[in-house]
Structure 1
């Protein structure tokens, strides 16, 4: 028996190949029985719940596309942001932008209509993009961890170790791995040669469904290379970075203590190398933590499903969409921890919304007014 993965969330049922024919198995409590594949087709019945779900999903998609588009626009408008370190952030934002526009929209349509409503030829392309972008996302997080690790562990050698050329080669390698693990095997049917569910969309039901069914070999290799190994590397590097940041902070505090005693003035240690230590560590920890939090339930469910096929379809779908939410969280992290991103965000939003521009001017006027009224001491 092989593994069935429904990326858009239908009740998952195991199957068997009998005399070169595919049959679906139904669990009757203690035994598995064969059922007619056309008896389990879903019919679209619009109701209040479906409408609410549709509004929520497309609001999530809109905010994901908008947030990552703002990151890309910020890079174009602000020359100061075009650094080697931010190249990896641009790559991650571009990945999340494509995920929101190419992957999440068809996934939401299939989730709402319970069938594939787009052209059939786009099904394998959509699945390939889903796998490629999900893989590229975690690989980019891994590159961000490597970049922050080098900048903190060996700050004096960072400019020579991490140049634009080397960063470009690293990004090219990441995207090559993502393509080789998605488009190449999926478009050629190597992910599961015995079940052509991406070409025959009525293989499991009378209505067309774009179902991604993988065998154990492809699933093990793809998951290990593109998800497990990169996220383990990112977690280990973050641990090393946070440990080094604490060591540097302690070292700086020991140097400043005699000066504080002589000058009778306290100089906060965090003011020294704060961009390299504290901010870099917090930003990296937030990005890695957000990815682990949003994608871990899906990874755990995916592993369990490979052994027992016991995860309900709706729960599995909620885990998939929780992972998609990571593409919305990333563009929120940048303005919270990076001042330059925050300035560009405010500028772009103020131009799009005149009310926000007036509100910002009012805040500046109130700050100046309070400064004038405050007596000098």
Structure 2
């Protein structure tokens, strides 16, 4: 028998018809994703905040991104979990707008941070001699401000001013509006704008920078190989270190691009195409793709933190409780 969210049949959404076993399995999976996201990003925040050796400009960006992903896990994902599994929203219309706006804001802010981190890594690898003059405290502060402010203005402005379905009101009330639902709806114009702002522009920046770093690192490796017989041993060792760093940066950004595209590309492609397909994409598929996108925030601390030895050392100190010892903040995590 069909279960409704509201007793007025003609305006009520239909509740989930999944069995208790399926719902229990989905709750277990999503709770695991949420806990991994929250704990992983919290460890990054604690590490960078506590250990003085990690107080660098580049790590400010990583800490800011970890804060975004932590808040996404705490404030957004639990409510999204209930909505996705129960197919019902019982927290009110106003909180629905707040939740949707916060969801769009934090997801977009996480992607913005990834883009700015790639820019920072570009100058660190490709122009190291002028890195400190180009990437200073003012530039990093501006990057962080843009990463938070633009997604916030875009998300809350669009949802609370109801610009997301402006010009497509008839389609909205026909396809998405019912009592007990809290799904985001985009018209053709707002869908394209959201796609460009939150995905295409920052994603294109990341892709271009990755390609640039890859070809520069490859060119440096070729030049070093050709010059091996003409340089002194000490210089060759330094070039070897430079080549190794270039390769490591290229590899890390390659992993970042792969995870980013795998997680977010399916959702944004479906989101921008749905209005042009007369909203025929099933809501269940949209929910699944949203959670696939959330996984990017789950994987971010693994990519940007735990891939580096000094973060693993910081993690060990935290987990064994040595962080509470006197002067633990001055622990040496890597050689200067």
Cα distance change of structure 1 residues 243 and 194 upon mapping to structure 2, 3 Å threshold: closer
- Say which structure is richer in strand: 1
Aligned residue in 2 for 1:54: 27
Matched residue SS, 2:185: strand
Aligned residue in 2 for 1:351: 321
Aligned residue in 1 for 2:59: 86
Give the alignment partner of residue 101 of structure 1, picking from 74, 89, 99: 74
CA shift, 1:335, in A, is 4.2
Which stretch of structure 1 is more off in the superposition, 232-241 or 181-190? 181-190
CA distance in 2, matches of 1:131, 1:61: 17
Structure 1 position 317 matched with structure 2 position 287: yes
* Superposition CA RMSD, Å: 2.7
CA shift, 1:306, in A, is 2.2
Aligned residue in 2 for 1:17: none
Cα distance change of structure 1 residues 234 and 187 upon mapping to structure 2, 3 Å threshold: same
Give the alignment partner of residue 329 of structure 1, picking from 289, 295, 299: 299
CA distance in 2, matches of 1:237, 1:184: 30
Taking structure 1 as the reference length, what is the TM-score of the superposition?
A: 0.75
CA contact (8 A) 1:84 1:163 kept: yes
Give the alignment partner of residue 312 of structure 2, picking from 339, 342, 363: 342
CA distance in 1, matches of 2:13, 2:50: 52
CA shift, 1:97, in A, is 0.8
Structure 1 position 247 matched with structure 2 position 216: no
Figure out how many residues of one structure are paired with residues of the other and give that number: 309
Superposed structure 1 runs of 4+ greater than 6 Å apart: 194-197, 267-270
CA distance in 2, matches of 1:351, 1:46: 43
Cα distance change of structure 1 residues 270 and 184 upon mapping to structure 2, 3 Å threshold: same
Cα distance change of structure 1 residues 255 and 272 upon mapping to structure 2, 3 Å threshold: farther
Structure 1 position 272 matched with structure 2 position 241: yes
CA shift, 1:47, in A, is 0.9
Matched residue SS, 2:242: coil
Aligned residue in 2 for 1:143: 116
Taking structure 2 as the reference length, what is the TM-score of the superposition?
A: 0.83
CA contact (8 A) 2:121 2:249 kept: yes
Give the alignment partner of residue 258 of structure 2, picking from 289, 304, 309: 289
CA shift, 1:317, in A, is 1.9
CA distance in 1, matches of 2:209, 2:52: 29
- Say which structure is richer in helix: 2
CA shift, 1:325, in A, is 0.6
CA distance in 2, matches of 1:193, 1:305: 16
Cα distance change of structure 1 residues 81 and 39 upon mapping to structure 2, 3 Å threshold: closer
